[in-house]
Amino acid sequence: MNLNKKRITIIVIFILFVGYYFVSNIINAEHQGFAKFVRDNTPQKFKNILKETVFVIPNLKKKNSIIERDISQLKSKTFEQSLIINALQNKLDSSKLIFDEEILSEKKENYNLKKISLPYYDLKDPYKNKLQGYLSMINDELFIFFWSGKILKLNIQEINNSNILNFKEVLSNIDNFIKDHKLKWIGIKDALYHDQNIYLSYTKENKDNCYSIAILKSQISDNLNFEEFYSFEECVGKKKENDFSGKKYMGGYQAGGRLEVFKNNLILTIGDYNNWELPQNSQSKFGKIITIDLDNKNSKILSKGHRNPQGLLVFDENFIFSTEHGPSGGDEINLINTKDFGKELNFGWPISSYGNHYPDVSKNKKTKKFAPLHKSHSDYGFIEPVEVFTAKRLTELNVKTNSTSLLGLGISQIIKDYYIESGVFISSLRAKKILEYSFNIDNKKLEYKDQLQFNERIRDIDYDKKNDLYYIFFEDTPSLGILKKVKTN
């Protein structure tokens, strides 16, 4: 009896399945032979009854699919319209002084801060209206490079003598290299001036949906003609559904891209793009800091075990600093001794980190195997950071956060601080601060000194030696900051 019941159940399920498939085809058929014939000759009243009763689920799925498509298209159009509105507003408001006051540091040091809104707008392509950018002092002019590829320049004499600035747009062929601006993380990643040439790192699409970092080069002129200076074939793209490392998609923001010059080499930082298997792989360029010979363009790995190295500073002939976007509570500053060039130094990611995985990272056996985030570097044969911004350290530095699971300074650039002996300034995105440290060369430690709080994310900072001041790229407005310490007798 039980056997007969099972057989009947199986037959009924089979009939329902076949009926579901067959009638679905009848309902939705367009040019499908017999199905079309049945569809055309079935009374409409009967088809409506089928749709609203027996086969309501496939019909609802089809309707939901259409609604979801329409919602997606509306969201896209709304987003485009918001970009256009913001661009038009920026055209009206840019190039004007929006802040000019003295501010106090944590240790009550006086600084004068000016902020002038930047004309980032692009009225032809709404997706090129990107707020992020970088600064570079070139002779007596300040160049501003937006992620979009828009380039501005400004005479520094005008910066210090006027409240309304005349930003001049610099012509270039950058659009030949940076094309798909709908991807928010696509664009220029740093700018460097050296020996009458401008070098730009940027996100390169090596092939369809597969990306890497490359470097462009142009001689300084009124019309910049960039050529590719350095690139590599390896690329990373969208991850498979069963990939173990965190998010399903590659982390396009984890790109690195900082540039520096040391002797006859360019130094380039390259992020891991959220691919855990690459930073410890010496055959891969991702998750590395590399050197590139300026003459023959040969590259070598300087260090590995990096997640997203955002800042780079050649402090002197002996030491190079890099800043690192870590996981939650894991931002850090690393120190490279130039005597160790050629040793392929290892800073541990993703095996060691003082931070913790973000909530959207899957916690499974493969995560524990490939990215255990041990709370020591040296115990596992890696180099310890010289500063790390754990939850405890952030509290000590009065860095507040709205989330216990998204801790971080959001560390960005590191640059020499000429206001104190052996000083460095460290800028931040999430914390919206500039931290001041002094580097003790004898014990190779960074000693915290002071900090300045701002109300905007700080992407970049550059020094004007002639006027003894710092230019800051604030990216929320976006605006150009001019920061100068007020000297007291």
In a domain, 85, yes or no: no
In a domain, 76, yes or no: no
Same domain, yes or no: 121 and 238: yes
Same domain, yes or no: 15 and 140: no
In a domain, 74, yes or no: no
Same domain, yes or no: 7 and 132: no
Give the range of the structural domain holding residue 335, as residue numbers without chain letter: 98-485
Same domain, yes or no: 27 and 144: no
Same domain, yes or no: 307 and 455: yes
CA distance 94 to 83: 16
CA distance 474 to 243: 36
Same domain, yes or no: 314 and 443: yes
In a domain, 60, yes or no: no
Helix (H) or strand (E) holding 192: strand 188-194
Same domain, yes or no: 332 and 478: yes
Contact 417, 407 (CB under 8 A): no
Same domain, yes or no: 152 and 33: no
Walk along the chain (489 residues) and give the pLDDT tens digit of each residue. 566 665 665 565 556 545 555 555 544 544 455 555 555 666 776 666 666 665 666 767 777 788 888 788 788 788 888 889 999 999 999 999 999 999 999 999 999 999 999 999 999 999 999 999 999 999 999 999 999 999 999 998 887 777 778 899 999 999 999 988 988 999 999 999 999 999 999 999 999 889 999 999 999 999 999 999 999 999 998 654 444 444 445 788 999 999 999 999 999 999 999 999 999 999 999 999 999 999 999 999 999 999 999 999 999 999 999 999 999 999 999 999 999 988 999 999 999 999 999 888 888 888 888 999 999 999 999 999 999 999 999 999 988 766 555 678 899 999 999 999 999 999 999 999 999 999 999 999 999 999 999 999 999 999 999 999 999 999 999 999 999 999 876
Same domain, yes or no: 268 and 414: yes
Same domain, yes or no: 19 and 139: no
Q: What amino acid is encoded at 34 in this protein?
A: F
Same domain, yes or no: 166 and 272: yes
Helix (H) or strand (E) holding 483: strand 479-485
Q: Which of 149, 112, 462 is nearest to 313 (CA)?
A: 462
pTM for the complete prediction? Answer: 0.85
Name beta bridge partners: 463. 470
pLDDT of residue 203: 96
Q: What is the CATH number of the domain that holds 241?
A: 2.120.10.30
In a domain, 182, yes or no: yes
- Count of structural domains within the chain: 2
In a domain, 66, yes or no: no
Q: What are phi and psi of 409, to 5 degrees?
A: -75, -30
The string of DSSP codes covering 398-430 is T---S-SSS----EEEEEEETTSTTEEEEEESS
Task: Give the three-state DSSP class for 243.
Answer: coil
Instruction: Report the relative pairing of strands 133-138 and 141-146 from DSSP bridges.
Output: antiparallel
Helix (H) or strand (E) holding 49: helix 44-52
Instruction: Report the relative pairing of strands 411-417 and 387-389 from DSSP bridges.
Output: unpaired
| DSSP secondary structure letter of residue 240 | P
Helix (H) or strand (E) holding 201: strand 197-207
339: which 2 tokens?
């005597």
Same domain, yes or no: 223 and 283: yes
